[in-house]
Amino acid sequence: MRAPLVKPGSAAIVNTVAGPQQVAYGLPNYLPDRPDGEDHHSVEQHIKWLKTEWTTRPLRPDYEKISLLMLKTLSDRQKLIVQQFISIRDFIAKFPWLQDEHEVSIF
């Protein structure tokens, strides 16, 4: 069944396993807050570690840690795209693991 079409910023009632629930649509859902315990400094440290891991390219990358840090930086990546209009070249330079087959196929 297809989701109903609604205006951005509005809400709709969607049937879920738990019963009918109100679901909000729009930009706020594409710009989530950082995970609990994460701040600007910790996110910058995650980005630095990811870049270092990419440049050293070990034979067996720690994909579990890479995936975890990519999830922790998701909100910042989305804000870079939506609010700061970062170029694709700069975006890939900042988050090089997005080029990796494992990260692309994770979803």
Closest Cα partner for 75 from 18, 24, 30?
Answer: 30
44 and 11 in a common domain: no
Same domain, 40 and 58: yes
Distance, in Å, from the CA atom of 91 to the CA atom of 89, rounded to the nearest integer, reads 5
Q: What's the pLDDT band for 92 if we cut at 50, 70, 90?
A: very high
pLDDT for the residue 1: 46
- 79 and 31 in contact (C-beta within 8 Å)? yes
Residues 6 and 42 in one domain: no
Number of domains in the chain: 2
Q: How many contiguous H segments (helices) and E segments (strands) does the chain have?
A: 5, 2
**Whether the model pTM is above 0.85:** no
8-37 pLDDT, tens digit per residue, is: 555 556 555 566 666 555 555 567 788 889
Same domain? For 36 and 48 the reply is yes
Q: What is the pLDDT of residues 36-63, one digit of tens each?
A: 899 999 999 999 999 999 999 888 889 9
Q: Where are the beta strands (DSSP E) in 17-90?
A: 19-24
Tell whether 45 and 25 lie within a shared domain: no
Whether 78 and 46 map to the same domain: the answer is: yes
Both tokens of 10, joined, read: 């509005």
Residues 93 and 41 in one domain: yes
Please indicate, yes or no, whether residues 9 and 53 belong to a single structural domain of this protein.
no
Question: 63 and 18 in one domain?
Answer: no
The reported pLDDT for the residue numbered 17 is 58
Domain that holds residue 18: 1-30
pLDDT band at 70, cuts 50/70/90? very high
Same domain, 77 and 98: yes
Is residue 56 domain-shared with residue 80, that is, in the same domain? yes
